[in-house]
Amino acid sequence: MIHRLFSLCSILLLFTTASANPSTKLIVVIVVDQCRYEYIERFGSHLGKNGFNYLLKNGANFTNASFKHANTSTGPGHAVLLSGTYGNVNGIIANDWYDVSKRQWVYCVEDKTVHLVGSAGEGRSPRNFTGSMLGDELRLKTGFHAKVVSISNKDRAAVLMAGTMPSGVFWMKDSVFVSSTYYMNDLPEWVKKFNQSRYVDSFFGRVWDKVLPDSAYRHMDDDDVPYEGEYDGMGRTFPHRITGRDSTKITPSYYWSLARSPFGAEVLKEFAKQAVDAEQLGQRGVTDMLCVSFSPTDIIGHAYGPHSIETMDAVVRMDAILADFFAFLDKRVGLGNCVFVLSSDHGIAPIPEYMKRRYPSVDAGRIPVDSLKRYCSGVLTRRFGEPAGEDWIDAIGGNNIYFNRSTFKNMKVPTLEWAASELADSLSQFYPIAAAYSSSQIISMPATTPVEKKIKRSFYRGRSGDVVYALKPYWREGDKPQGAAHGEPYEYDAHVPLIIAGGGIRPGRYPNEASPVDIAPTLSALLGIEFPAGRDGRVLIEAFK
Ligand SMILES: [Zn+2]
* Cα 496 to middle of ligand 1, angstroms: 14
Amino acid at 183: Y
Q: How confident is the model at residue 22 (pLDDT cuts 50, 70, 90)?
A: low
How many angstroms separate the CA atoms of 69 and 73, rounded? Answer: 10
Closest to 109 in 3D by CA, of 87, 94, 98:
94
Coil, strand or helix at 407: helix
Question: Is residue 514 over pLDDT 70?
Answer: yes
Percent of the chain with pLDDT over 90: 95
In the chain, domain spans: 2-351+495-543, 365-477
* Cα 299 to middle of ligand 1, angstroms: 6
Do 2-351+495-543 and 365-477 fold alike per CATH? no
* Cα 39 to middle of ligand 1, angstroms: 16
User: What confidence score (pLDDT) does residue 9 get?
Assistant: 45
User: Between the CA atoms of 530, 534, 536 and 542, what dihedral angle is there, to the nearest 10 degrees?
Assistant: -10
- What global pTM score does this model have? 0.95
pLDDT tens, position by position, 135-186:
999 999 999 999 999 999 999 999 999 999 999 999 999 999 999 999 999 9
User: What confidence score (pLDDT) does residue 14 get?
Assistant: 46
* Cα 199 to middle of ligand 1, angstroms: 25
* Cα 76 to middle of ligand 1, angstroms: 11
pLDDT tens, position by position, 414-435:
999 999 999 999 999 999 999 9
Buried/exposed 523-543: b ≥16 CB within 10 Å, e otherwise:
bbbbbbbebbbbbbbebbeeb
pLDDT tens, position by position, 232-278:
999 999 999 999 999 999 999 999 999 999 999 999 999 999 999 99
CATH architecture of the domain formed by 365-477:
2-Layer Sandwich (3.30)
Query: 2-351+495-543 — its CATH code?
Result: 3.40.720.10
Closest to 442 in 3D by CA, of 381, 477, 401, 486:
401
Q: Which of 74, 243, 407, 522 is catalytic?
A: 74
DSSP 505: B
16 is catalytic: no
